[in-house]
Structure 1
Amino acid sequence: MKLYIKFMVSLRCKLLVKEELEKLGLHYVVLDLGMVDVLEDITEEQREKLKLNLLKSGLELLDDKKSILIDRIKNVIIEMIHYTDELPKVNYSDYISEKLDYDYTYLSNIFSEVKGITIQQFIIIHKIERVKELLLYDELNLTEISYKLHYSSVAHLSNQFKKVTGLSPTFFRQLKQKRKGNLENL
């Protein structure tokens, strides 16, 4: 039986869900971001208990089909951008459609209707968050980050970064170094 869990977007969340399943004596086959495939049928009592325990940790057990699909779309994007070393070589639309086994137009329409932004805008927001993360790590230069996240050029990355954050990537990196310097002076 597949269960879909909202806000389950990190390894810590996966561990939390695993713990809650163990408390209820439930076994799982697959435990992925946003989804767990439980071996047993779950009683209504177990489901309610799991729902309440997850809520205490900021996670939400989903019931409605639209919410489940939206969460699955978000998790595919988050996993693709934040948890894989290499972004897919195919179009994001093809990748998402293939992963979820739905027509992209259908996914896109439902996502926009429910979230109020397009899938593409959601991808851009997460790519910029990933760029910020990589800038803070200070291990890659802008050209390497641009290549890693499949931007057509450093200029494209910089323009998108500035549009979303209001800052240039270089200025963002300098802010980090200024903060670090200020902390050392305390």
Structure 2
Amino acid sequence: MKISVKNMVCNRCIMVVEQTFQQAGVEVENIQLGVVGTSKELNESAIKRIDENLKKVGFEIINDSNSRLIEQIKTSAVDYVYHNKWDERLNFSDYLTDKINLDYPYLSSLFSSVEGTTIEKYLINLRIERIKELIVYDEKTLSEIAWEMGYSSVGHLSGQFKRTTGFSPSYFKNMKEQKRKSINDL
């Protein structure tokens, strides 16, 4: 049985969700961002109990197909920004179409109508949060970050960063309290 789970965006999320299923006595056959595969079919009461426990730790089971599709788009965007090398990628619309096997205009329209923002803006916000993370780590120069994140230049990265956050990357780096957001809050 495949169960879609909202807000799974990292390996730690996978671990917490898997533990929640195991604590409920459910054997997890496979698990990946957004989807848990169980070896047996679960009845409604078991699913409800697991959902209640998942909600306590910031996740929830997705029941309707549109919500599942939105979660697939978000999970694909996180994978695109955090786990792939920019120089080896297609543009995001092609990446998403290949991953989900649906037309991009349909996915874009559905996402916008449900989330109130475009896929492109969501992707930019994810990239900016990743850039904030890399700036805070202070292990790479801004040029290296720009290249790693697929920007054509430091100027392009800086411009988009300032439009999105209101700060230049260098000002953000020197702030005492970095204003990073959780991926779940995007």
TM exceeds 0.5?
Answer: yes
Residue in 2 that maps onto 1:146: 146
Higher RCO, 1 or 2 (CA under 8 Å, sep at least 6)? 2
The root-mean-square deviation of aligned C-alpha atoms, in Å, is 1.6
Take 2:151 and 2:67, find their aligned partners in 1: how far apart are those partners? 30
After TM superposition, where is structure 1 displaced by more than 6 Å over at least 4 residues in a row? Answer: none
The structural deviation recorded for 1:30 is 2.3
Give me the whole-angstrom Cα distance separating, in 2, the residues matched to 1:107 and 1:85: 21
Pairing of 1:50-65 with structure 2 (within 5 A): 50-65=50-65
Q: Which amino acid aligns with 1:5?
A: V
Helix, strand or coil at the partner of 2:175: helix
Deviations 1:92-114 (A, max 9, x none): 10111111111111111100110
Give the corresponding residue for 1:161.
Answer: 161
Q: 2:66 and 2:84 mapped to 1: Cα distance? A: 30
- Which 5+ residue runs of structure 2 have no aligned equivalent? 179-186
1:6-51 per-position Cα deviation (integer Å, ceiling 9, x unaligned)? 1122222211211121123322232111111222111112111111
Structure 1 stretch 64-73 or stretch 9-18: which is displaced more? 9-18
Rounded Cα–Cα distance in structure 2 between residues aligned with 1:103 and 1:90 = 15
1:116 aligns to 2:113 (yes or no): no
Alpha-carbon distance between aligned partners in 1 of 2:35 and 2:103, rounded to the nearest angstrom = 20
Tell me the secondary structure at the aligned position of residue 144 of structure 1.
helix
The equivalences for 1:7-156 within 5 A come to 7-82=7-82, 84=83, 86-87=85-86, 88-156=88-156
Which digits, 9 at most, give the CA deviation of each residue in 1:68-115, with x for residues without a partner? 110110011112212x15135211101111111111111111001101
Are the structure 2 counterparts of residues 140 and 152 from structure 1 closer, same or farther at C-alpha, using a change threshold of 3 Å? same
CA contact under 8 A between 2:22 and 2:28: conserved in structure 1? no
Write the deviation string for residues 123-148 of structure 1: whole angstroms up to 9, x where unpaired.
Answer: 00010001110001111111111110
Partner of 1:5: 5
Matched residue of 2:4: which SS? Answer: strand
- SS of 2:68's partner is helix
Compute the TM-score of the two structures, normalised by the length of structure 1.
0.89
Question: Which residue identity does 2:108 align to in structure 1?
Answer: S
**8 Å contact from structure 2 (residues 31, 37) kept in 1:** yes
Judge which range, 9-18 or 64-73, deviates more. Answer: 9-18
- Is there any run of 5+ residues in structure 1 with no aligned partner, and where? 181-186
Q: What letter corresponds to residue 63 of structure 2 in structure 1?
A: D
SS in 2 for 1:94: helix
Identity of aligned residues (%): 39
C-alpha separation between the residues in 2 aligned to 1:135 and 1:121? 21
Structure-2 separation of matches of 1:151 and 1:55: 37
What code does the residue aligned with 2:20 have? E
